[in-house]
A and B are shown apart, each in its own frame.
Chain A
Amino acid sequence: MADETRIRMITGGPILVEGPVEITLDDGRVIRSDRFMVALCACKRSRTYPICDTSHRPKHRRGES
């Protein structure tokens, strides 16, 4: 049981999966990453979906429109 896939869900942020990973999307596209940790988008706002690009963050400093 030592080799379970470890996944960490970040509230308001991405899902962290230990790499390397191969991700298959609905449309058949396959994305591979051999980074030691991969951040998967959970908010669907990423421009590099399914990889997180920090688009989940608030846009401006507090008080600014």
Chain B
Amino acid sequence: MKISYNDHAVSLVTSGGAHPICGYGSQAGYGDRMGHLPRPRGPISEGIISALSGGPLPPAGAPDPFGEDLQVSLHVCYELHYQGFDGVDPAWEWDPGLLGLRRDLEQVFLTALRDGVEGGADVEAAVDAAMIDSPGGVSHFLEDKGELWHLREYVVHRSIYHHKEADPHAFAIPRLTGQAKASLVAVEFDEFGGGRYARMHSKLFCDLMRALGLDDSYLARLDDVPAPMLAVVNMMSLFGLHRSLRGALVGHFASAEITTSPSAARMARALDRLGVAETVFFTEHVEADAVHEQVLRRDVVGDLLRREPELAGDVVFGFQATDLVESRFGAHVLAAWDAGRTSLREAPDGR
């Protein structure tokens, strides 16, 4: 163990040795959740990660909004608000210097998201667009011709979200009121297994990972997952951690619930075709999200906009930004697969 100092806190850093592991042969069992710091992907993430061990914070500079360095940097900043990192002082969550740097990075990312969407305030049109299932996506590829290594890669990508499934959306609860709040909490209750850990969606995802022979420890594969997936999760955290973006968070949540059901059905068929029996994660999402879609549209989005009609533009932004980051992710994965390459960053998985 070493002790390091910074301007705001004294941190105790455990070096080497065991970090708590969730699942996968761990006696602790899954549920013990804490990741380890990822490897840096550029000067900003290098600076942040070394600062968490006692170095000075780097300047934000002008990074590529969808690039590896910015996305992993934001991911590290946000993770301090979720499970934190083994060996990193939890006081960093509210370190003013780091929060200031995060704000600068968020501005770069948020500006790119706003610049990348059409905009407007027509919520009905945004819902209609999300309802229409367009061919050519990753789940279509997996259903039609995916091999086991494709499936395993896809699951590794998605683990960055599903290990904290529904957590970012829980930040909406204290920011809503009335029926919108009650209904969002009902959907979240379902996401967290209705009070039963064995049915919690993040737990079902860990079951799937283990069935595929993948390490289901919390964020175990973070270093392998490239920026397009990190952007999907960072967008949720960005919307979740800012009350001013609650409309976008609700729009994103509704969009995700609307689009998941058909793609989950394709994924269940892909698993059947590949002989993977652990389909519960996807079959549950087919049914659950058919319900959640209705509740989100009518009782959450509908009620929120009756109370705060001025949020319509933000709700639309949430829909459109979700489509933007998911489209970028899908394009990245399919471009790699069409070229016969891994879509992950480092060691190809399972080939």
Q: Mark B275-292, 1 if CB is under 8 A from A, else 0.
A: 000000001001111110
Give every chain A residue within 8 A of B190 (Cβ-Cβ): 35-36
Expressed in whole angstroms, the Cα–Cα distance for A22 and B181 within the complex equals 28
Expressed in whole angstroms, the Cα–Cα distance for A25 and B288 within the complex equals 21
Give every chain B residue within 8 A of A54 (Cβ-Cβ): 261-262, 286, 289-290, 293
Q: Mark B172-209, 1 if CB is under 8 A from A, else 0.
A: 00000000000000100110001000000000000000
CB nearest to A33 among chain B residues: B287
Expressed in whole angstroms, the Cα–Cα distance for A62 and B133 within the complex equals 10
List A1-57 residues whose CB lies under 8 Å from chain B.
10, 13-14, 16, 33-39, 47-48, 51-54, 57
Q: Once the chains bind, are B265 and A47 in contact (CB under 8 Å)? A: yes
Interface size on B, residues (CB 8 A): 22
Of the listed residues B135, B194, B283, B294, the one surrounded by the most CB atoms of chain A closer than 10 A to its CB is: B294
Expressed in whole angstroms, the Cα–Cα distance for A60 and B265 within the complex equals 16
Give every chain B residue within 8 A of A57 (Cβ-Cβ): 131-133, 262
Q: Once the chains bind, are B291 and A38 in contact (CB under 8 Å)? A: yes
Known A36-B186, A37-B186: A53·B290 in contact at CB below 8 Å:
yes
Q: Which of A53, A58, A61, A62 contacts B261 (CB 8 A)?
A: A53
Q: Once the chains bind, are A53 and B265 in contact (CB under 8 Å)? A: yes
Tell me, yes or no, whether B295 is within 8 Å of chain A by CB.
yes
Q: Mark B23-61, 1 if CB is under 8 A from A, else 0.
A: 000000000000000000000000000000000000000
Q: Once the chains bind, are A16 and B291 in contact (CB under 8 Å)? A: yes
Give every chain A residue within 8 A of B134 (Cβ-Cβ): 60-61, 64
Contacts A/B (CB < 8 Å), 15 sampled:
A35-B190, A35-B287, A39-B291, A39-B294, A51-B290, A52-B290, A53-B261, A54-B261, A54-B289, A54-B290, A57-B262, A58-B131, A58-B132, A60-B135, A62-B132
Known pairs A16-B294, A37-B291 / 14 extra A-B pairs, C-beta < 8 Å: A13-B294, A14-B294, A33-B287, A34-B194, A36-B186, A36-B194, A51-B290, A52-B287, A52-B291, A53-B287, A53-B290, A54-B261, A61-B132, A64-B135
4 smallest CB-CB distances across A and B, nearest first, come from A54-B261, A52-B290, A39-B291, A61-B134
